[in-house]
């Protein structure tokens, strides 16, 4: 979940690192730190808090340096503190290290390093002392290979060696990309960290490490054999994140939905048309279709199952973290991983597990050349661009649209050709009403959202947003399941939001059930005229989702919550 940045070049090392960390802060914002090598010594600064608040505490611009590493943290091992912040430094002061991932056997490794002085509670600090101890014969690469052999768990790691002014990076299970620029080499857990500097990128695969010294980049496998890595050209956002005239990234990204949807429409009709057709054919050819995803992407996967079932193709969706406990993958299976980042650890594990059983892989991702994309037989990019807010909004809508296009390419169903404009109107024509509703609901502690069919996954998605951004205990559920327990929680003025796409009589009876218990019912439906909806029925899932996003935003804003950086969360989940 943490963000790793590094640089070796002729630019201002401190400035490059801080700019990179700002671009990676969505991966974690508990604390941050940087280390540079200057005059063959490590100079390090770190602090607790968000980067904008602690940036002056991390200033090392007065240190003339060619090489440095940085880190923005999402706490896993050890509380949020300056001692637990990265980088960590070896006892002798020669090495500094940053780490993303979880080292599962860190306690065992720590016991074998008993003479070393530990200053943190983290698993990560163990690695820098391990490298120090195993490098006593003078060969750092030997120490790295020994670590890769003995370590259990996931990691992307950067090690700064002040004695040789050299940087080492290694990877297993967590992402690591190396940018090749005209003024130096960049490395990070996300290409967005250095996309303003270069479009030429080398991606490390599992059990590989790289040495960086001067302009020289050498990649080797865990046995020390050189690996030929050809750079890929990546088109990704060069500009630093900018809210423009919006107060929060979430609100900006909701308002970007129409434009990014239009961009996706064009690519599916043009540059991605062949991949769309290949994906469609693979769906038709396989006996078993299994979607796997986490969080918001899982809700998109549930819609994928619904759409494909309507198109005559049997499918199922499995939460990635429980995939191995429920899957029945084989050589007749097409696995469909859905992931915004393409780096979600649980999803990658599901892909690896299914591949070993002979399954084919057809994925839906956002970030170009991500791990999941590179593991797939075919991939569709949702082209939503960089998303900074932890809450997935524009990426969820583009996931839904991609899945809808796949299903419509199978059954020939028409879809709203002007959906982007319809969603623009959805935002503009409903915002005032949503603000009023947000004020009404802003003091609520519990809220229920009910739906059937295609509205059920949307109910779950809206509930997730209310939990993670508005800090409201919200439950999204199948309307028909109310009578099997949840009705016991309904009392006077309990808010229940019902998603009613087509005047369905059965969900109408569910609404009556909660109303008879005194619930405060809010109907999101094109039939009661309280809210504006596009005329076409297939637009309902998109429009109701956007209403849920806006409701979440305005409740959180009214309550003064940290909308873009909610407590305890990070955007890209690269640990299990």
Binned at pLDDT 50, 70 and 90, residue 502 comes out as: confident
Q: How many CA atoms lie within 13 A of 390 on its CB side?
A: 27
Phi and psi, residue 411, nearest 5°: -100, 0
Rounded mean pLDDT, 513-519: 89
- Whether 521 has a pLDDT exceeding 70, the answer reads yes
- The whole-angstrom separation of Cα 223 and Cα 353 is 24
Q: What pTM was computed for the model?
A: 0.92
Query: What does the pLDDT read at residue 505?
Result: 65
User: 2 an active-site residue?
Assistant: yes
- Whether 238 has a pLDDT exceeding 80, the answer reads no
- Whether 194 has a pLDDT exceeding 70, the answer reads yes
201 in Cβ contact with 179 (< 8 Å): yes
Rounded mean pLDDT, 392-416: 91
Tokens of 60: 């090392």
DSSP β-bridge partners for residue 362: 378
Structure-token match 């297993």, residue found? 172
- The whole-angstrom separation of Cα 402 and Cα 129 is 47
- Whether 416 has a pLDDT exceeding 80, the answer reads no
Rounded mean pLDDT, 418-439: 96
At 459-500, the pLDDT tens digits run 999 999 999 999 999 999 998 888 888 888 889 999 999 999
Binned at pLDDT 50, 70 and 90, residue 309 comes out as: very high
- The whole-angstrom separation of Cα 89 and Cα 431 is 51
User: 571 an active-site residue?
Assistant: yes
59 in Cβ contact with 41 (< 8 Å): no
Measuring CA to CA, which residue among 524, 459, 455 is closest to residue 486?
A: 459
The mean of the pLDDT values for the chain is 93
- Whether 576 has a pLDDT exceeding 70, the answer reads no
- Whether 536 has a pLDDT exceeding 90, the answer reads no
Q: Which of 2, 46, 171, 465 is catalytic?
A: 2
Binned at pLDDT 50, 70 and 90, residue 52 comes out as: confident
- Whether 572 has a pLDDT exceeding 70, the answer reads no
Measuring CA to CA, which residue among 451, 473, 411 is closest to residue 541?
A: 451
Q: What CA–CA distances, in Å, run from 512 to 360, 486, 520, 523, 544? A: 46, 14, 11, 12, 21
- E runs forming strands in 214-250: 216-221, 232-233
Rounded mean pLDDT, 173-196: 92
Domains of the chain (ranges; CATH) run 3-233 (3.60.20.10), 243-415 (3.40.50.10490), 428-576 (3.40.50.10490)
Rounded mean pLDDT, 449-465: 97
- Whether 575 has a pLDDT exceeding 60, the answer reads no
Query: What does the pLDDT read at residue 170?
Result: 97
| Helix axis angle, 394-411 to 273-285, nearest 10° | 60
Phi and psi, residue 255, nearest 5°: -75, -15
Query: What does the pLDDT read at residue 158?
Result: 97
In total, the chain counts a number of residues equal to 576
572 in Cβ contact with 343 (< 8 Å): yes
Within 360-480, residue ranges assigned H as helices are 371-375, 394-411, 419-441, 455-468
Query: What does the pLDDT read at residue 528?
Result: 82
Query: What does the pLDDT read at residue 411?
Result: 86
Query: What does the pLDDT read at residue 306?
Result: 96
- 274 by Cβ neighbours in 10 Å (0-12 / 13-18 / 19+) ranks as exposed
- The whole-angstrom separation of Cα 83 and Cα 242 is 31
Q: Which of 22, 424, 452, 571 is catalytic?
A: 571
175 in Cβ contact with 370 (< 8 Å): yes
Rounded mean pLDDT, 262-276: 97
At 248-259, the pLDDT tens digits run 999 999 999 999
- Whether 115 has a pLDDT exceeding 90, the answer reads no
- 233 by Cβ neighbours in 10 Å (0-12 / 13-18 / 19+) ranks as exposed
Query: What does the pLDDT read at residue 412?
Result: 82
């Amino acid at each position: 979940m943490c963000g790793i940045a590094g640089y070796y070049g002729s630019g201002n090392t401190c400035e490059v690192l801080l700019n990179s960390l700002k671009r990676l802060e969505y991966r974690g914002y508990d604390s941050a730190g940087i280390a540079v090598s200057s005059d063959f010594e490590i100079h390090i600064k770190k602090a607790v808090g968000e980067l904008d608040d602690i940036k002056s505490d991390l200033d090392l611009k007065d240190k003339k340096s060619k090489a440095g590493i940085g880190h923005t943290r999402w706490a896993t091992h050890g509380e949020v503190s300056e001692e637990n912040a990265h980088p960590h430094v070896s006892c002798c002061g020669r090495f500094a290290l940053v780490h993303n991932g979880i080292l599962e056997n860190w306690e065992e490794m720590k016991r074998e390093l008993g003479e070393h002085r530990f200053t943190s509670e983290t698993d990560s600090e163990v690695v820098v002392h391990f490298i120090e101890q195993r490098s006593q014969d003078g060969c750092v690469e030997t120490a790295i290979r020994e670590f890769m052999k003995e370590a259990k768990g996931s990691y992307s790691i950067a090690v700064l060696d002040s004695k040789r002014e050299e940087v080492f990076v290694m990877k297993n299970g967590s992402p690591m990309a190396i940018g090749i620029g005209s003024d130096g080499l960049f490395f990070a857990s996300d290409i967005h960290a250095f996309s303003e500097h270069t479009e030429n990128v080398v991606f490390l695969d599992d059990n590989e490490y790289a040495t960086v010294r001067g302009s020289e980049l050498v990649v080797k496998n865990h046995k020390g054999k050189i690996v030929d890595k050809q750079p890929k050209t990546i088109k990704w956002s060069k500009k630093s994140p900018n809210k423009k005239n919006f107060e929060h990234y979430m609100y900006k990204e909701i308002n970007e939905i129409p434009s990014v949807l239009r961009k996706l429409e064009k690519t599916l009709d043009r540059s991605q048309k062949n991949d769309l057709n290949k994906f469609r054919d693979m769906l038709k050819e396989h006996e078993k279709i299994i979607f796997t995803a986490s969080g918001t992407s899982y809700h998109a996967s549930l819609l994928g199952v619904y759409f494909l079932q309507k198109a005559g193709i049997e499918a199922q969706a499995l939460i990635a973290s429980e995939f191995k406990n429920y899957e029945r993958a084989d050589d007749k299976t097409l696995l469909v991983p859905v992931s915004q980042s393409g780096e979600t650890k649980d999803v990658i594990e599901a892909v690896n597990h299914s591949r070993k059983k002979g399954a084919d892989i057809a994925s839906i991702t956002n970030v170009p050349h991500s791990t999941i994309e590179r593991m797939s037989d075919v991939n569709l990019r949702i082209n939503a661009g960089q998303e900074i807010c932890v809450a997935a909004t524009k990426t969820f809508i583009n996931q839904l649209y991609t899945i809808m296009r796949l299903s419509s390419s199978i059954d020939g169903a028409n879809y709203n050709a002007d959906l982007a404009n319809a969603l623009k109107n959805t935002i503009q024509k409903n915002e005032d009403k949503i603000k009023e509703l947000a004020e009404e609901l802003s003091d609520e502690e519990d809220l229920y959202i009910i739906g059937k069919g295609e509205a059920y996954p949307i109910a779950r998605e809206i509930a997730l947003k209310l939990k993670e951004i508005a800090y409201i205990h919200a439950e999204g559920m199948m309307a028909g399941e109310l009578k099997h327990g949840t009705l016991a929680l309904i009392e006077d003025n309990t808010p229940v939001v019902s998603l009613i796409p087509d005047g369905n009589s059965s969900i109408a009876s569910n609404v009556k059930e909660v109303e008879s218990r005194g619930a405060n019912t809010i109907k999101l439906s094109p039939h009661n005229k309280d809210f504006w909806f596009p005329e076409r029925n297939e637009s309902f899932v998109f429009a109701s989702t956007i209403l849920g996003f806006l409701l979440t935003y305005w409740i959180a804003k009214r309550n003064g919550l940290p909308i873009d950086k909610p407590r305890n969360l990070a955007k890209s989940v690269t640990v299990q």
